[in-house]
Structure 1
Amino acid sequence: MAETPFDAVLFDFSGTLFRLEEDESWLADVTDHEGRPFDVHRQAELMRRLTQPVGQPVEMDADEHHAWTNRDREPRWHREAYLTVLRKSGVADPEQAQALYEKVTDPDCWTVYPDTVPVVEALAGDGIAVGVVSNIAFDLRPAFARLGIDDLVSVFALSFEVGAVKPEPEIFRYAVDALGVDPQRTLMIGDSEKADGAARSIGCAFELVEPAPTAERHDALWTVLAAAGITPTEPGAGRSS
């Protein structure tokens, strides 16, 4: 491995390492207020609203806005906020909304990007600490466990456990402190300039990836690592003596 300017890499979860993608079976029976099924365009818009990292996807009253802005701090607010989004996006049946919400919060329903596993393995194999920093209200560790890489992630800084959300500096500080690394030797990778890019506030470097569909984004993690000066040995590649 070439000399690297970083001792640790922090990753966002949604839109960076994994992505919540449309599954026809989830929405096959979902109907709007007039009993009509959602067409492909409305399905795509619904998924976008459920996964956008910043901003407010629908109009909300004061109580709904409070739940939305605090959704990643407590599971109860997360549930309330997303059921509101589903209802105001046209999902009229409460049982349908609840079933869809359970898919959103099931780690097994998230699709991994093609380069996630090899990148995590390569970084860990070369002695670069790996952390995950996520605004989330459920335990995402099982998504990593099913791929056999949970033990390669040294810290999971999850907002509902830490008590801070991106872009607040406290969640990034928690991660670097847990890793025992200097923020100035830490790289944050994520899909939101506002949320993930806030790692710069404590001295971290930042690289942006696009939250494109997993079928369209094959090597973005390798690309941004290289741009930052990190060239870990890919799993299976021979090491020079």
Structure 2
Amino acid sequence: MKEEHLDLLDTHRFELVAKMDPDDMVDFLISAKVLTQRQAKDITSKPDTKTKNRALLDQLRESGENAFEALVEALTKTDRHALAKLLSVEDPIAPSLVKIDSDRDGAASGSGSDVGKKPFFTNEAAALNKLQNMNTTQLKDALNRQLFEICRSLMAQELCSYLVAYGTMTDYNRQVILTASRTQYEQNQELCSYLNKKDKSEILHFVDGLLATGQGNIACLIAGFKSQ
């Protein structure tokens, strides 16, 4: 398996272990000749779903070049489309892959890894750059200045899923935020309260999540820009 694919498996391991359907996945991977019957039996003999998923991922890491593509196809075939999208090398959304550079004229331009790039509008790129240069206190102040507008329009469920996928938030915290609140506005309040207890890197993961989930206008709002 390629190094970039191994990195993606490591980045998204938490979500994969939590949400894959190992029994159906194994059946597909046998058909695709990625797993042998012996390997499949060893995986499915594990005592619970998460342990099976860990064993499956560990086995795939040692498999051939086509193992990663087969895994993505297996996720799609077993209706785990969100997981398949996380592993997409064509449109990655990992925070580590979202980078903004400046050219000599000071204009923001997108750069990233060789496994793909997610384009941002100019103001979104500038917003990310501005927020990255703030300290923790400044980030929280910027967030709280726009609290009403954020709570009015944020899609907390998508952001929480993003933060869980990258280890910034635990699944328990996600459930608390999404189930303890009756309305979307209250969910967004809970999420903002959660972020106010975090450090700079975790708040920037939230900003990355805004861009990755099509909510770049909110990132611009926090930075004091208008989205294009």
Point out the structure with the larger helix share.
Answer: 2
Give the structure-1-normalised TM-score. 0.29
Q: Which has the higher contact order (CA 8 A, sep 6+)?
A: 1
Larger radius of gyration: 2
